Amino acid sequence: MKRKGFMAVASLTFSLLFLNGCEPATITTNAPDANDATVATAPVDTAAIESELLRIENDWPRVMKEKDGAAVRRVYADDAVIVYPDGSTGTREEDAKGTENGMVTADSAEMADLKVNVVNKDTAIVTGRTIFKNAKLNPPDTKPIDISGEYRFVDTFARRNGQWKLVAGISTKIQNMVPSASPGASPAAKPSPAAKASPATKSSPAMKDSPTMKAAPTP
Protein backbone atom coordinates (compact mmCIF):
# COMPACT_ATOMS: atom_id res chain seq x y z
CA MET A 1 0.00 0.00 0.00
CA LYS A 2 2.78 2.34 0.92
CA ARG A 3 4.60 1.37 -2.29
CA LYS A 4 1.55 2.25 -4.42
CA GLY A 5 1.26 5.57 -2.63
CA PHE A 6 4.90 6.33 -3.20
CA MET A 7 4.66 5.44 -6.89
CA ALA A 8 1.61 7.66 -7.29
CA VAL A 9 3.40 10.63 -5.75
CA ALA A 10 6.50 10.00 -7.86
CA SER A 11 4.39 9.77 -11.02
CA LEU A 12 2.59 13.02 -10.21
CA THR A 13 5.89 14.78 -9.50
CA PHE A 14 7.36 13.62 -12.80
CA SER A 15 4.29 14.76 -14.70
CA LEU A 16 4.51 18.24 -13.18
CA LEU A 17 8.21 18.49 -13.96
CA PHE A 18 7.57 17.39 -17.54
CA LEU A 19 4.78 19.91 -18.04
CA ASN A 20 6.88 22.72 -16.59
CA GLY A 21 9.71 21.77 -18.84
CA CYS A 22 7.45 22.05 -21.87
CA GLU A 23 6.29 25.59 -21.06
CA PRO A 24 7.82 28.28 -23.28
CA ALA A 25 10.69 30.14 -21.64
CA THR A 26 10.09 33.71 -20.58
CA ILE A 27 12.28 36.10 -22.60
CA THR A 28 13.51 39.22 -20.84
CA THR A 29 14.30 42.18 -23.06
CA ASN A 30 15.64 45.65 -22.47
CA ALA A 31 12.73 47.32 -24.20
CA PRO A 32 11.69 50.56 -22.41
CA ASP A 33 8.55 50.54 -20.37
CA ALA A 34 5.58 52.09 -22.15
CA ASN A 35 5.10 54.60 -19.35
CA ASP A 36 8.77 55.59 -19.43
CA ALA A 37 8.58 56.18 -23.16
CA THR A 38 5.55 58.40 -22.71
CA VAL A 39 7.29 60.52 -20.08
CA ALA A 40 10.48 60.83 -22.10
CA THR A 41 8.71 62.04 -25.24
CA ALA A 42 6.14 64.28 -23.57
CA PRO A 43 6.46 67.74 -25.17
CA VAL A 44 7.17 70.80 -23.03
CA ASP A 45 4.26 73.24 -22.98
CA THR A 46 6.41 76.25 -23.82
CA ALA A 47 3.47 78.57 -24.44
CA ALA A 48 1.97 77.91 -21.00
CA ILE A 49 5.32 78.47 -19.27
CA GLU A 50 5.91 81.73 -21.13
CA SER A 51 2.41 82.96 -20.30
CA GLU A 52 2.80 82.27 -16.57
CA LEU A 53 6.24 83.85 -16.24
CA LEU A 54 5.26 86.94 -18.24
CA ARG A 55 2.28 87.35 -15.92
CA ILE A 56 4.60 87.23 -12.91
CA GLU A 57 7.09 89.74 -14.37
CA ASN A 58 4.43 92.21 -15.53
CA ASP A 59 2.96 92.25 -12.02
CA TRP A 60 6.08 93.73 -10.36
CA PRO A 61 5.09 97.40 -10.88
CA ARG A 62 1.81 96.72 -9.06
CA VAL A 63 3.61 94.82 -6.29
CA MET A 64 5.92 97.80 -5.72
CA LYS A 65 3.14 100.40 -5.84
CA GLU A 66 0.85 98.50 -3.48
CA LYS A 67 3.72 97.40 -1.21
CA ASP A 68 2.59 93.80 -1.63
CA GLY A 69 5.18 91.88 0.37
CA ALA A 70 3.00 88.77 0.32
CA ALA A 71 3.41 88.58 -3.47
CA VAL A 72 7.19 88.66 -3.07
CA ARG A 73 7.08 85.80 -0.58
CA ARG A 74 4.75 83.87 -2.87
CA VAL A 75 6.93 84.19 -5.97
CA TYR A 76 10.42 84.01 -4.45
CA ALA A 77 11.89 80.63 -3.52
CA ASP A 78 12.91 80.24 0.12
CA ASP A 79 16.57 80.16 -0.94
CA ALA A 80 16.34 82.88 -3.61
CA VAL A 81 19.45 85.03 -4.14
CA ILE A 82 19.08 88.55 -5.53
CA VAL A 83 22.02 90.64 -6.81
CA TYR A 84 21.37 94.40 -6.84
CA PRO A 85 22.90 96.98 -9.23
CA ASP A 86 25.53 98.01 -6.65
CA GLY A 87 26.75 94.41 -6.31
CA SER A 88 25.19 93.71 -2.93
CA THR A 89 22.92 90.70 -2.43
CA GLY A 90 19.57 90.13 -0.79
CA THR A 91 17.16 87.39 0.21
CA ARG A 92 13.48 86.68 -0.11
CA GLU A 93 12.62 88.11 3.30
CA GLU A 94 14.76 91.21 2.80
CA ASP A 95 13.01 91.99 -0.49
CA ALA A 96 9.58 91.30 1.02
CA LYS A 97 10.19 93.64 3.96
CA GLY A 98 11.72 96.27 1.70
CA THR A 99 8.63 96.14 -0.50
CA GLU A 100 6.31 96.50 2.48
CA ASN A 101 8.34 99.45 3.81
CA GLY A 102 8.41 101.30 0.48
CA MET A 103 12.16 100.93 0.02
CA VAL A 104 11.70 101.79 -3.68
CA THR A 105 9.13 104.31 -4.89
CA ALA A 106 8.55 105.68 -8.37
CA ASP A 107 6.07 107.77 -10.32
CA SER A 108 6.02 104.93 -12.83
CA ALA A 109 7.72 101.59 -13.43
CA GLU A 110 7.47 99.84 -16.78
CA MET A 111 8.54 96.36 -17.86
CA ALA A 112 9.93 96.14 -21.41
CA ASP A 113 11.60 93.72 -23.83
CA LEU A 114 10.55 90.68 -21.82
CA LYS A 115 11.81 87.39 -23.22
CA VAL A 116 11.36 83.90 -21.78
CA ASN A 117 13.94 81.20 -22.51
CA VAL A 118 12.43 77.83 -21.57
CA VAL A 119 15.32 75.52 -20.66
CA ASN A 120 13.14 72.51 -19.82
CA LYS A 121 9.77 71.80 -18.23
CA ASP A 122 11.02 72.89 -14.80
CA THR A 123 13.52 75.66 -15.58
CA ALA A 124 13.27 78.97 -17.43
CA ILE A 125 15.17 82.26 -17.69
CA VAL A 126 13.53 85.65 -18.19
CA THR A 127 15.37 88.73 -19.45
CA GLY A 128 14.06 92.25 -19.83
CA ARG A 129 14.26 95.91 -18.88
CA THR A 130 12.69 97.92 -16.07
CA ILE A 131 12.18 101.64 -16.71
CA PHE A 132 11.83 103.83 -13.60
CA LYS A 133 10.66 107.44 -13.74
CA ASN A 134 11.28 109.75 -10.77
CA ALA A 135 12.30 106.72 -8.71
CA LYS A 136 13.79 106.87 -5.24
CA LEU A 137 15.64 104.39 -3.05
CA ASN A 138 14.59 105.15 0.51
CA PRO A 139 17.14 103.77 3.01
CA PRO A 140 15.95 104.02 6.62
CA ASP A 141 18.85 106.14 7.91
CA THR A 142 19.82 108.34 4.95
CA LYS A 143 18.27 110.70 2.45
CA PRO A 144 16.43 109.24 -0.57
CA ILE A 145 18.65 108.36 -3.52
CA ASP A 146 17.53 109.01 -7.09
CA ILE A 147 17.55 105.72 -9.02
CA SER A 148 15.58 106.83 -12.08
CA GLY A 149 16.61 105.20 -15.34
CA GLU A 150 16.61 101.88 -17.17
CA TYR A 151 17.79 98.59 -15.73
CA ARG A 152 18.54 95.29 -17.45
CA PHE A 153 17.69 92.16 -15.47
CA VAL A 154 17.98 88.37 -15.66
CA ASP A 155 15.62 86.23 -13.56
CA THR A 156 15.95 82.46 -13.20
CA PHE A 157 12.83 80.47 -12.36
CA ALA A 158 12.41 76.84 -11.26
CA ARG A 159 9.19 74.87 -10.95
CA ARG A 160 8.89 73.51 -7.41
CA ASN A 161 5.90 71.47 -6.29
CA GLY A 162 4.06 72.60 -9.40
CA GLN A 163 4.67 76.33 -8.77
CA TRP A 164 7.13 78.61 -10.55
CA LYS A 165 9.58 80.19 -8.10
CA LEU A 166 12.20 82.88 -8.60
CA VAL A 167 15.50 81.29 -7.50
CA ALA A 168 17.95 83.96 -8.67
CA GLY A 169 17.82 87.48 -10.03
CA ILE A 170 20.39 90.07 -11.07
CA SER A 171 20.00 93.61 -12.38
CA THR A 172 22.29 96.36 -13.62
CA LYS A 173 21.71 99.95 -14.62
CA ILE A 174 22.02 100.73 -18.33
CA GLN A 175 24.65 103.43 -18.75
CA ASN A 176 24.50 105.77 -21.74
CA MET A 177 28.07 105.74 -22.92
CA VAL A 178 28.95 108.92 -24.88
CA PRO A 179 32.23 108.61 -26.80
CA SER A 180 34.50 111.61 -26.37
CA ALA A 181 35.68 113.48 -29.47
CA SER A 182 39.25 112.79 -30.51
CA PRO A 183 41.27 116.01 -30.20
CA GLY A 184 43.11 117.14 -33.33
CA ALA A 185 46.84 116.90 -33.43
CA SER A 186 48.46 120.08 -32.17
CA PRO A 187 51.03 121.71 -34.44
CA ALA A 188 54.59 120.84 -33.66
CA ALA A 189 56.20 123.46 -31.45
CA LYS A 190 59.54 124.89 -32.36
CA PRO A 191 62.27 123.82 -30.02
CA SER A 192 63.04 126.52 -27.47
CA PRO A 193 66.61 127.67 -27.05
CA ALA A 194 68.56 125.60 -24.62
CA ALA A 195 68.17 126.91 -21.10
CA LYS A 196 70.63 126.49 -18.34
CA ALA A 197 69.85 123.64 -16.03
CA SER A 198 68.34 124.85 -12.79
CA PRO A 199 70.04 123.72 -9.60
CA ALA A 200 68.73 120.44 -8.28
CA THR A 201 66.03 120.90 -5.72
CA LYS A 202 65.50 118.67 -2.80
CA SER A 203 62.64 116.20 -3.18
CA SER A 204 59.61 116.97 -1.07
CA PRO A 205 58.80 114.47 1.68
CA ALA A 206 56.45 111.66 0.59
CA MET A 207 52.80 112.27 1.46
CA LYS A 208 50.96 109.62 3.39
CA ASP A 209 48.05 107.89 1.70
CA SER A 210 44.64 109.10 2.74
CA PRO A 211 42.36 106.59 4.46
CA THR A 212 40.53 104.34 2.06
CA MET A 213 37.04 105.64 1.28
CA LYS A 214 34.23 103.20 1.00
CA ALA A 215 32.62 103.35 -2.43
CA ALA A 216 29.08 104.60 -2.42
CA PRO A 217 26.56 102.13 -3.79
CA THR A 218 25.55 102.64 -7.39
CA PRO A 219 21.92 103.70 -7.50
pLDDT tens series, the chain, 219 aa:
444 443 444 444 434 444 444 444 444 445 555 555 555 567 899 999 999 999 999 999 999 999 999 999 999 999 999 999 999 999 999 999 999 999 999 999 999 999 999 999 999 999 999 999 999 999 988 999 999 999 999 999 999 999 999 999 999 999 986 666 655 555 555 555 554 444 444 444 444 344 433 333 444
15 within a domain of the structure (yes/no): no
59 within a domain of the structure (yes/no): yes
Strands 76-83 and 89-90 turn out to be antiparallel
Residue type, 167: V
Query: Which pTM was predicted?
Result: 0.64
User: CA 72, 77, 78, 79: dihedral to nearest 10 degrees?
Assistant: -120
58 within a domain of the structure (yes/no): yes
Spatial neighbors of 182 by CB under 8 A, at least 6 apart, are none
Q: String of b and e for 40-56 (b: at least 16 CB within 10 Å)?
A: eeeeeeeeebbebbbeb
The number of distinct structural domains making up the chain is 1
Question: Which pLDDT belongs to residue 155?
Answer: 99
Q: Across the strands, what pairs with 15?
A: none
Question: Which pLDDT belongs to residue 10?
Answer: 42
187 within a domain of the structure (yes/no): no
Owning domain of residue 80: 42-173
Question: Which pLDDT belongs to residue 80?
Answer: 98
CA distance 141 to 114: 35
Spatial neighbors of 186 by CB under 8 A, at least 6 apart, are none
Question: Which pLDDT belongs to residue 41?
Answer: 60
**Within 10 Å of residue 108's Cβ, how many Cβ atoms?**
11
Question: Which pLDDT belongs to residue 40?
Answer: 58
Residue type, 36: D
Question: Which pLDDT belongs to residue 42?
Answer: 77
68 within a domain of the structure (yes/no): yes
CATH number of the domain at 106, please.
3.10.450.50
**Within 10 Å of residue 95's Cβ, how many Cβ atoms?**
21
